[in-house]
Amino acid sequence: MAELPTGNKRSLLFLILAMLLVCAASLRVGPMATDWATVWHGLLGDAEAQYVLLVRDVRLPRLVLGLMVGSGLGVAGLVLQGLLGNPLAGPYTLGFSGGGAFGASLMILLGLGGMWVMFGAVGGVALCVVGLWLLAGRRNFSPRDMVLAGIVVGAIFSALLSLVKVVSGDSLTAIVFWILGSLSGRGWREVSLLLPFWLVGLTGIVLRIGVLDSLSLGDEFAHSAGVDVGRSRRLLLLYVSLLTGGCVAVSGVIGFVGLVVPHCLRMLMGPVHQRLIFPVIVGGGGLLVLGDMGSRWLGRYGDVPVGVLMALLGGPFFCWLLLYSNRETMGEG
């Protein structure tokens, strides 16, 4: 793993401290008012029973799940941006989240739950990957074309998802609320369901993050460095599928975390993926927990899923990024 320069170490330390503050604050925020002492004693188990239940079994698993989903989506976005060399790439913009949502909602429609929903979501993401892989294999697609192809694949899965909603009947409300993206009502069961997918996907990417640096410099450079380009790409996409599918299965569709976090940290800390991987894990988890905290605060005015809030924040950033990349392209031309 590449050593961080002094400036990047300070940035990482700031990120970690900010994440810890956000995590601590998230244990306080909710419809039921709690002070710091109540939160502390609730964690220790020596508060009133209702507060122990609230902190340990409601807010704490929601916090842990937010960290896992945010970090998973952030790392998935980092890998996709590195593989395609395109800052617009991410699980949401390439249609991976839509594929996962279709697979998971199909399992819900069939009356299956638990691990079946996880497998359905991962299978949906895998279908997206195969679709993009076939398109890329038939033509020499540019990174921008790959994003456009991802949008097309995402639109197809969005149409299939609409079809599922049409025939879902009594399951419609649950499917629609789930698709909007939320951590509400999630507990330790969802954490345990996501954990194997998250661990395998994240560990696989961390162990191969140096290979991603070689791939991002071009196939010729990667070949000269002794990298098996085809196998490495397939493995990295497999790990991205596990991360994205697992996250979508437990939280629904939460967009733009995988786009915003890697891009902003790359601007701050440079393009070396070995130096970016841990900051992205910290930043992605912290951002989603912050967004979930905001959705809980807004929840007093009505139920606001965190996926909706992240889309409202990420949409303008995506527009700016699109305009910025267009200016760079025109400048080079």
pLDDT tens series, the chain, 333 aa: 556 666 678 888 999 999 999 999 999 988 777 889 999 998 998 888 899 999 999 999 999 999 999 999 999 999 999 988 877 788 888 888 888 889 888 888 888 877 888 888 889 888 888 887 777 655 555 666 777 778 888 888 888 888 888 887 766 777 777 778 888 888 999 999 999 999 999 999 999 999 998 888 877 888 888 888 888 888 998 899 999 999 998 998 898 898 889 988 988 888 889 999 999 999 999 999 999 998 888 776 666 788 888 888 877 877 776 676 555 433 444
The tokens describing 318, both together, are 């995506």
SS3 category, 48: coil
Residue 55 lies in a domain: no
Residue 51 lies in a domain: no
Residue 26 lies in a domain: no
Residue 274 lies in a domain: yes
Q: How many domains does the chain have?
A: 1
d(CA 201, CA 72): 8
The tokens describing 128, both together, are 């997206």
Residue 61 lies in a domain: no
Residue 311 lies in a domain: yes
- Compute the 3-state secondary structure of the chain and give helix, strand, coil in percent, each to the nearest 5: 80, 0, 20
d(CA 192, CA 190): 5
The tokens describing 165, both together, are 């909603």
Angle between helices 60-84 and 143-167 (to 10 degrees): 140
Residue 222 lies in a domain: yes
Burial of 224 (0-12, 13-18, 19+ CB in 10 A): exposed
Residue 112 lies in a domain: yes
Q: Which domain holds residue 173?
A: 84-328
Q: What is the CATH number of the domain that holds 307?
A: 1.10.3470.10
pTM: 0.88
Q: What DSSP line would sit under 162-194, residue for residue?
A: HHHHHH-GGGHHHHHHHHT---TT--HHHHHHH
